[in-house]
């Protein structure tokens, strides 16, 4: 899996689980509206709205983007390490019981582990946290990418939704170019079987597409989908902008509020490689129905 090139100091912290000196990081007192992403793999980790001043010497957040951060007990059992859920890079530690915010949680994060990405249209970091970015819906078709088990079944449920212009199955999220089905199945490239949906945003919303995604597979299964077990069958969503990221975060929050332990990964958009032609519209070509994708109403 290919990651960003790190400096020796970044590698010491991210790879070798080091800690930067207190009050030395660029984001300790930084104020800006945007998203903090993993410095190693660019996966979105924290929203600026969840950053707060704890006076501890490191950037502090009282919440993470759903599914973005994993908690791992330190070997000595005294603390809980936090790592990027996508690449495993060390972020810092998480603490509870300090009563610093209403969420009673503090993610103590190394500045060297993260990068700040400002919201589009906001260039002045002194804007208040209540500032909003105006968005204008585009008349052009838009794209969404979903991974949730065998891509044949995913495509079956999306291809006839009103407003969906087209669908393609393929591979996303790994390393190397133009992976083949055999390479993906061998787990040598890290790609996930992925559905690309092209849609008209005036006829169907991204949120409605995302709701369908969460209802046609089991977002609580961490090793695949049903009988399809393996890395290429993991539940994941590849987001292309802040709007998509926020929608997915909201929906995961709703599902978790209903008691579902959602393990769906949220990953930044990468290159989508179309699968071989015989995979495209598989069930439509064969007149069959998917055996492992059955819609379950969750919203």
108 is catalytic: yes
292 is catalytic: no
Which among 41, 84, 108, 292 is annotated as catalytic?
Answer: 108
Edge-to-edge order in the sheet of strand 34-38: 44-47, 34-38, 114-118
* Element of type H or E holding 160: none
Angle at 165 between CA 161 and CA 168, to 5 degrees: 90
> Are the C-beta atoms of residues 109 and 164 closer than 8 Å to each other?
no
Strand 265-268 and strand 235-239: the pairing is parallel
Structure tokens belonging to residue 245: 């990221």
Contacts of 286 (CB under 8 A, 6+ apart): none
Contacts of 223 (CB under 8 A, 6+ apart): 229, 230, 234
Contacts of 187 (CB under 8 A, 6+ apart): 230, 231, 232
Which among 38, 41, 84, 150 is annotated as catalytic?
Answer: 150
Beta strands in the chain (DSSP E): 34-38, 44-47, 51-52, 60-61, 69-73, 80-84, 90-96, 105-109, 114-118, 142-148, 164-172, 192-199, 224-225, 228-229, 235-239, 265-268, 273-274
Catalytic residues: 108, 150
């Amino acid at each position: 899996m290919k990651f960003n090139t790190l400096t020796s100091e970044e590698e010491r912290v991210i790879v070798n689980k080091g800690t930067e000196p207190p009050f030395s990081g660029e984001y300790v007192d930084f104020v800006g509206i945007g998203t903090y992403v993993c410095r190693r793999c660019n996966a979105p980790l924290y929203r600026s709205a969840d950053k707060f001043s704890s006076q501890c010497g490191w950037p502090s957040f009282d919440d993470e983007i759903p599914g973005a951060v994993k908690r791992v007990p330190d070997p000595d059992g005294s603390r809980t390490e936090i790592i990027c859920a996508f690449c495993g890079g060390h972020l810092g530690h998480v603490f509870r019981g300090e009563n610093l915010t209403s969420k009673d949680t503090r993610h103590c994060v190394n500045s060297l582990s993260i990068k700040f990405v400002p919201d589009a249209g906001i260039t002045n970091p002194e804007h208040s946290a209540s500032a909003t970015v105006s968005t204008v819906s585009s008349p052009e078709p838009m794209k969404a990418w979903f991974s949730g088990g065998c891509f044949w079944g995913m495509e079956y449920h999306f291809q006839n939704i009103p407003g969906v212009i087209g669908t393609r199955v393929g591979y996303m999220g790994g390393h190397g170019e133009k992976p083949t089905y055999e390479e993906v199945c061998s787990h040598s490239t890290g790609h996930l079987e992925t559905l690309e949906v092209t849609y008209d945003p005036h006829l169907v919303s991204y949120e409605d597409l995302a709701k369908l995604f969460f209802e046609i597979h089991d977002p609580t299964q961490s090793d695949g989908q049903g009988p399809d077990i393996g890395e290429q069958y993991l539940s994941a969503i590849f987001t292309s902008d802040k709007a998509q990221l926020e929608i997915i975060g909201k929906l995961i929050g709703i599902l978790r509020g209903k008691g579902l332990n959602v393990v769906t990964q949220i990953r930044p958009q990468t290159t989508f490689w179309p699968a071989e032609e015989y995979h495209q519209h598989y069930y439509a070509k064969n007149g069959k129905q998917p055996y492992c994708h059955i819609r379950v109403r969750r919203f």
